[in-house]
Amino acid sequence: MTRNRRLRITIALACWNTMALSALPQEGPPAIRDLYSTESFNVVVTVSDRAASNTFYGDVLGLKKAGVWDTMPENGTMDIYLAGNTRLKLVSFPRKLPKQAGGLENARGLRLLAFTLDDEEGVIRRLRAHGCEMTGFGRLAGTEFSQCFVRDPDDNPVELVLVPKGTDAGGRGRFAVGLAVADVEASRRFYGRVLGLDEQPPQKRADGRPIYSFQFGNEVVKFWPADRELPAWTGYHGDAVGIRYIQFPVRDLAKAHAYFMTAGANVIRAPYAFAPPRTWLMFVGDPEGVWIEFPGRPAAKDK
């Protein structure tokens, strides 16, 4: 991606106009919900060390591997893991990419991956065996589950809710992704009214700041307030290492594109052939500049 194109995208993001969302219906689920092909979302993470990342997510956390795409454009490779209904997609390249420091408080954008895992003792044993430091360890209020935070090989914060072996997780979702946002109300409108996710009652962090959660199927997008002066670490998956996209597969990209244009959303890139003939993509920016990816067919075939 050229520098000029990235500059144009940055300018477009700076001009995000939340008032344009008035074009959406005031009541009822947005029309985009009818276009989603699954009741779950995926997350794309660009990694610097493929082997280390596979060891962490596969061997240490124990996520099940669902496949490998080793013919990606730009000589990329994608290792795919399952976290509940979510597909965690780890993208790696032979070239070295810029690496931004992880952490919940030093940037805006996608900052956290959260997993609910079975076999508490086994996960803890593997974390210790691989030298993974666990912080904030304690019991999750009102449950038998424990909670802690670790870092993946690229310093991305990872929240773990650990369920004792043989204990019912009680229908708890297996995955959540967390964002730091400067404009909470714009983000609430975007994830609720534009993307059609179901807003849950706010919760509080340990420091008293609110956490806003939006559920889709059994998975959750959650965010918390951040300083507007912090940098927004967002953008194309081939530009930098880190948590890059939230992905919502759709059945008909043409209809999804028309929906977002009508909604006044920031369409970063209209539908295009990423890896033809099977893989077509579209990107929409959230109010913080986070890229939301929509893979799907250019248009649904008539039956």
Positive or negative: CA dihedral 296, 298, 299, 302: negative
pLDDT at 26: 45
pLDDT at 15: 47
Between 300 and 288, name the one with better pLDDT.
Answer: 288
Q: Give the residue-averaged pLDDT of 12-27.
A: 45
pLDDT at 302: 43
pLDDT at 144: 84
Calculate the CA dihedral of residues 53, 59, 62, 65 and round it to 10 degrees: 70
pLDDT band (50, 70, 90) for residue 16: very low
pLDDT band (50, 70, 90) for residue 140: confident
Pair 146, 127: CB distance under 8 Å: no
Using the predicted structure, report yes or no on whether residue 5 has a pLDDT greater than 70. Answer: no
pLDDT at 19: 40
Q: Give the residue-averaged pLDDT of 88-107.
A: 92
Between 277 and 35, name the one with better pLDDT.
Answer: 35
Pair 145, 168: CB distance under 8 Å: no
pLDDT band (50, 70, 90) for residue 29: low
Q: 3-295: what fold?
A: 2,3-Dihydroxybiphenyl 1,2-Dioxygenase; domain 1 (3.10.180)
pLDDT at 165: 84
Cα 65–Cα 170–Cα 116 angle in degrees, nearest 5:
35
Between 179 and 4, name the one with better pLDDT.
Answer: 179
Which of 141-145, 155-159, 178-182 has the least mean pLDDT? 141-145
pLDDT band (50, 70, 90) for residue 265: very high
Between 4 and 110, name the one with better pLDDT.
Answer: 110
Measuring CA to CA, which residue among 300, 303, 301 is closest to residue 254? 300
Q: In this prediction, what percent of the chain has a pLDDT beyond 70?
A: 87
pLDDT band (50, 70, 90) for residue 22: very low
Between 174 and 151, name the one with better pLDDT.
Answer: 151
Using the predicted structure, report yes or no on whether residue 11 has a pLDDT greater than 50. Answer: no
pLDDT at 21: 45
Pair 233, 240: CB distance under 8 Å: yes
Q: Give the residue-averaged pLDDT of 178-204.
A: 96
Average pLDDT, the chain: 88
Q: Give the residue-averaged pLDDT of 180-188.
A: 97
Which of 170-179, 181-190, 262-271 has the least mean pLDDT? 170-179
pLDDT at 262: 94
Which of 18-32, 118-132, 144-158 has the least mean pLDDT? 18-32
